[in-house]
């Protein structure tokens, strides 16, 4: 009698990925490595939780609060020092991720 196949009619293990449709999932670590971290000071408060932030180099950028800061009701006022993440593709906009003082 010939030996039976090992997989017993199942698909190969490489096709057991449940999310095989659509684009592959990107890890958040890759996105965090791409962001540029800079420090700045809030120069004006705008409507809709938007802020004008002056960088140490003298440039001003438009920034919004990150989701975790909104969730924790972190208040920002003019003169606060903040840490921001900027995309290397658009250096005029940023996301505020931390209030230092």
Mind listing the pLDDT tens digit for each residue in 56-97? 999 999 999 999 999 999 999 999 999 999 998 999 999 999
The CA–CA distances, whole Å, from 35 to 17, 22, 28, 49, 89 equal: 30, 25, 11, 21, 10
Instruction: Give the whole-angstrom CA distance, residue 60 versus residue 46.
Output: 13
* Full set of structural domains in the chain with CATH: 36-99 (2.40.50.140)
Is the per-residue pLDDT at 7 higher than 80?
A: no
């Amino acid at each position: 009698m010939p030996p039976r196949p090992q997989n017993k009619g199942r698909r190969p293990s490489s096709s057991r990925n449940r999310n095989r449709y659509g684009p592959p999932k990107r890890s958040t670590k890759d996105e965090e490595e791409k962001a540029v971290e800079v420090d700045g000071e809030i120069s004006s408060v705008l409507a809709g939780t938007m802020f004008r932030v002056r960088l140490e180099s003298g440039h001003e950028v438009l920034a919004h609060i990150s989701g975790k800061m909104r969730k924790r009701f972190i208040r920002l006022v003019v003169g606060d020092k903040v840490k921001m993440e900027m995309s290397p593709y658009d250096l005029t906009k940023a996301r505020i991720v931390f209030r230092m003082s």
